[in-house]
């Protein structure tokens, strides 16, 4: 039989003796075998060494436990987890080091049950676990099981060990147990980079970005993971501007270098505030750096371009995205839907299944149902909604019902929408009710809207939008006593109306406006432009729709109130700050009122500008006096 090629080629010739035709050789000493295992470049080499050791019965030799440990780690490092754990189970009386290595292998490969069985076996064998054992088993813990292991940690006097404490902080942080995480973190004699990052993660998950930032600023050393956690914390909890400022600070410091996770978080922040130019710059930065333009980064770019009003660029990125997954398809379908390109969204829905064979998810159906709602495609929407359960086995969620109710409500089928809500197998949330009330207001269904709103207020709903809608409904029929009643109720319950805010990005800076705002540095020029706009649109037949003003004011005062809505201030600033003919992109946090919608159409006509406006419901593309929504929104 031929000798092992690994042994034959890896050892000096003086270690080999050829006694017979079977080419026997003298096995190297255990120390040399351990080195060979550590230096193995493939699983085939490990198998050859393992075979040689087995033939000489060294695996069972009590003097050489290190060989078992080395082989276990080698198999694990080459991804042969089954071989690795099988080796452990074949070992007689494994020691603490082999137990710990096996527990760690099971934990990092998601075999949580096996990790706990090994840990119990270790305790049953009366071996005392050390800090590395606990660090390994903690990787498999939920918050509940982590608390149990924590008691063992304290019993064996390892509560102050930095590795163990870091593992505990990480578990409590992932489970959102801020109090427990804080207690462990505060007791640590030395706080590592990893433990501090875990604590920042914990604060961020709870939305406490102030505490997260305070700890972040106190860190002597920061790696890209800690930067990513802080940037993403800002982005995920309503502080997108802070996220972008911190991203810029990271770039200014030069080290560490941003990675894929960094740019995905920064692009998410751009999406929230409509920072298109900043998003474009990040796209260029990714192309010029070593960051891989993989499907995750591409999906973030698609989402950013769609939400920042540049659907064309979103489509270009989508077409160039390598190995598109369902998330990328969902992002593009949703992008088409929010811009009102409903037929394109539905076409993509069919292509996704026909070309790639990917199955739609619940998110896919939210996008397709939104597409139907924005275009008034009632029959198609109902068919898609019913197919979710019947063809794809996907259970309808509150978001799907919301899309369906919105579709029916906008189409004027209010009673049908109301019946769907009453017959749902789940409780309707305030967003769903707001959709119905908005449709009632749109179609003048005063009695039904009053009935629904008063029922909801009786249920102690705290959503300010419900109260505002009811107040507007009363005002629309001239019932100002009802308006006063609702406002007093809001005051008693401490409910504050969400202010309307519009933003526009000029030269990489986002400018924010509120109704009647005079805080901007160019406020004088903005109001001068507003007066010019008012004169020009009136010459084109504009008549203010004062029915959209729900305060008890004189007619002239209502007209003046309409003129200073936040979106008009943003448009006026855009007109004085950009070149003639260039497009404007406006973002508003609430639904654009019908009067501002009419005015924006006229402004696009008289200025020859394309105006893209994103409100709470969708995108509006105003061009030459018309809107992409077809006045259906």
DSSP 361-392: -HHHHHHHHHHHHHHT-HHHHHHHHHHHHHHH
Proportion of the chain above pLDDT 70, given as a percent: 91
Give yes or no for a contact between 303 and 282, defined as CB atoms under 8 angstroms apart: no
HSE-CB at 306 with a 13 A cutoff on CA atoms is 28
Among 447, 452, 442, 393, CA closest to 421 = 452
Lowest mean pLDDT among 88-92, 327-331, 455-459: 455-459
Provide the terminal-to-terminal Cα distance of the chain, rounded to the nearest Å.
81
* Six-digit token string for 594: 């019908």
- Residue 547: how many CB atoms within 10 A of its CB? 11
User: Is residue 445 over pLDDT 90?
Assistant: no
User: Is residue 17 over pLDDT 80?
Assistant: no
More confident residue, 51 or 264: 264
Give yes or no for a contact between 196 and 174, defined as CB atoms under 8 angstroms apart: no
pLDDT of residue 235: 94
In angstroms, the CA 559 to CA 475 distance is: 16
Confidence bin at 225 (pLDDT 50/70/90): very high
What are the residues facing 502 on neighbouring strands? 513, 588
In angstroms, the CA 202 to CA 186 distance is: 14
HSE-CB at 484 with a 13 A cutoff on CA atoms is 5
User: Is residue 551 over pLDDT 70?
Assistant: no
Q: Looking at the chain, how many residues does it have?
A: 633
Among 243, 298, 311, CA closest to 272 = 243
Confidence bin at 613 (pLDDT 50/70/90): very high
47-74: per-residue pLDDT in tens?
Answer: 777 777 777 766 655 556 777 777 778 8
Give yes or no for a contact between 328 and 318, defined as CB atoms under 8 angstroms apart: yes
pLDDT of residue 13: 35
User: Is residue 5 over pLDDT 50?
Assistant: no
340-394: per-residue pLDDT in tens?
Answer: 899 999 999 999 998 888 999 999 999 999 999 988 899 999 999 999 999 999 9
Lowest mean pLDDT among 39-43, 139-143, 254-258: 39-43
Radius of gyration of the chain (CA): 32
User: Is residue 541 over pLDDT 60?
Assistant: yes
The secondary element (H helix, E strand) that includes residue 236 is helix 224-236
566-583: per-residue pLDDT in tens?
Answer: 999 999 999 999 999 999
Give yes or no for a contact between 219 and 251, defined as CB atoms under 8 angstroms apart: no
What are the residues facing 506 on neighbouring strands? 509
What are the residues facing 621 on neighbouring strands? 612
38-47: per-residue pLDDT in tens?
Answer: 777 877 777 7
State how far the alpha carbon of 610 is from the alpha carbons of 215, 423, 579, 626, in Å: 45, 44, 12, 10
In angstroms, the CA 624 to CA 629 distance is: 14
More confident residue, 189 or 331: 331
Write a three-state SS string for 158-223: CCCCHHHHHHHHHHHHHCCCHHHHHHHHHHCCCCCHHHHHHHHHHHHHCCCHHHHHHHHHHCCCCC
Give yes or no for a contact between 181 and 175, defined as CB atoms under 8 angstroms apart: no
User: Is residue 211 over pLDDT 90?
Assistant: yes
Q: Tell me what the pLDDT averaged over the chain comes to.
A: 85
Proportion of the chain above pLDDT 90, given as a percent: 44
Question: If phi over 0 gives left and psi between -120 and 50 gives alpha, with beta otherwise, what is residue 52?
Answer: alpha
Q: Classify residue 81 by burial, with Cβ atoms within 10 Å: 0-12, 13-18, 19+.
A: middle
Among 519, 470, 497, CA closest to 589 = 497
Helices (H), 78-175: 81-90, 96-108, 112-124, 131-138, 143-155, 162-174
Give yes or no for a contact between 624 and 609, defined as CB atoms under 8 angstroms apart: no
Confidence bin at 6 (pLDDT 50/70/90): very low
* Six-digit token string for 186: 């505060």
What are the residues facing 510 on neighbouring strands? 505
Question: Tokens 């419901």 — which residue?
Answer: 617
In angstroms, the CA 254 to CA 104 distance is: 35
Q: Where are the beta strands (DSSP E) in 524-604?
A: 584-588
Among 575, 583, 488, 595, CA closest to 533 = 575
Helix/strand/coil for 422 = helix
Query: 186 Cβ partners below 8 Å, 6+ apart?
Result: none
What are the residues facing 626 on neighbouring strands? 623
């Amino acid at each position: 039989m031929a000798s092992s090629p690994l042994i034959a080629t890896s050892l000096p010739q003086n270690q080999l003796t050829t006694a017979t035709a079977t080419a026997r050789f003298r096995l190297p000493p255990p120390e040399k075998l351990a080195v060979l295992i550590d230096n193995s470049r493939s699983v085939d080499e490990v198998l050859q060494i393992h075979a040689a050791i087995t033939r000489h019965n060294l695996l069972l030799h009590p003097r050489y436990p290190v060989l078992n440990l080395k082989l276990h780690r080698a198999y694990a490092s080459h991804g042969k987890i089954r071989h690795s754990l099988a080796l452990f189970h074949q070992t007689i009386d494994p020691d603490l080091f082999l137990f710990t290595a096996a527990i760690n292998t099971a934990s990092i490969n998601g075999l949580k049950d096996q990790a706990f069985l090994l840990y119990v076996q270790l305790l049953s064998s009366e071996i005392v676990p050390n800090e590395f054992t606990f660090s390994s088993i903690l990787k498999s813990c939920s918050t509940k099981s982590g608390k149990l292991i924590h008691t063992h940690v304290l019993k064996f006097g390892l509560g102050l060990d930095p590795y163990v404490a870091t593992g505990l902080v990480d578990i409590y942080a992932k489970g959102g147990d801020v109090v427990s995480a804080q207690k462990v973190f505060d007791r640590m004699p030395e706080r590592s980079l990893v433990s501090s990052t875990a604590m920042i993660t914990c604060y961020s998950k709870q939305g406490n970005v102030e505490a997260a930032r305070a700890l972040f600023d106190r860190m002597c050393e920061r790696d890209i993971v800690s930067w990513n956690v802080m940037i993403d914390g800002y982005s995920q909890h309503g502080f997108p501007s802070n996220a972008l400022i911190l991203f810029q600070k990271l770039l200014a410091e030069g080290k560490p270098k941003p990675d894929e996770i960094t740019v995905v978080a920064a692009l998410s922040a751009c999406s929230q505030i409509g920072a298109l130019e900043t998003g474009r710059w990040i796209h260029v930065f990714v192309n010029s750096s070593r960051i891989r333009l993989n499907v995750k980064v591409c999906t973030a770019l698609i989402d950013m371009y769609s939400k920042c009003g540049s659907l064309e660029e979103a489509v270009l990125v989508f077409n160039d995205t390598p190995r598109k997954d369902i998330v990328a398809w969902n992002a593009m379908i949703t992008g088409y839907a929010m811009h009102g390109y409903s037929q394109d969204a539905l076409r993509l829905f069919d292509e996704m299944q026909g070309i790639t064979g990917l199955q739609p998810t619940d998110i896919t159906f939210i996008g397709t149902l939104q597409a139907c709602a924005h275009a008034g495609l009632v029959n198609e929407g109902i068919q898609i909604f019913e197919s979710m359960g019947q063809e794809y086995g996907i259970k309808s969620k509150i978001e799907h019902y919301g899309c369906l109710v919105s579709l029916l409500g906008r189409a004027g089928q209010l009673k049908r929408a109301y019946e769907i809500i009453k017959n749902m197998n789940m409780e309707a949330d305030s967003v769903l009710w707001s959709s119905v009330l908005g449709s009632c207001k749109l179609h003048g269904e005063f009695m039904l809207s009053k009935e629904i709103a008063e029922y909801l207020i009786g249920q102690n709903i705290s959503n300010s939008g419900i109260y505002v809608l009811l107040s507007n409904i009363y005002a629309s029929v001239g019932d100002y006593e009802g308006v006063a009643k609702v406002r007093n109720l809001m005051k008693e319950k401490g409910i504050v109306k969400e202010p309307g805010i519009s933003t526009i990005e000029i030269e990489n800076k986002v400018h924010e406006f509120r109704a009647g705002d005079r805080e901007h540095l160019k406020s004088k020029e903005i109001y001068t432009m507003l007066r010019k706009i008012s004169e020009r649109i009136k010459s084109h037949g504009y008549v203010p729709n004062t029915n959209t003003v729900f305060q008890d004011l004189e007619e002239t005062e209502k007209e003046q109130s309409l003129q200073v809505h936040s979106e008009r201030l943003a448009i006026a600033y855009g007109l004085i700050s950009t070149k003639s003919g260039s497009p404007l992109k406006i973002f508003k946090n609430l639904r654009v009122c019908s009067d501002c919608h009419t005015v924006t159409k006229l402004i696009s006509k008289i200025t020859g500008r394309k105006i893209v406006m994103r409100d709470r419901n969708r995108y509006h593309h105003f061009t030459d006096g018309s809107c992409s929504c077809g006045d259906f929104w």
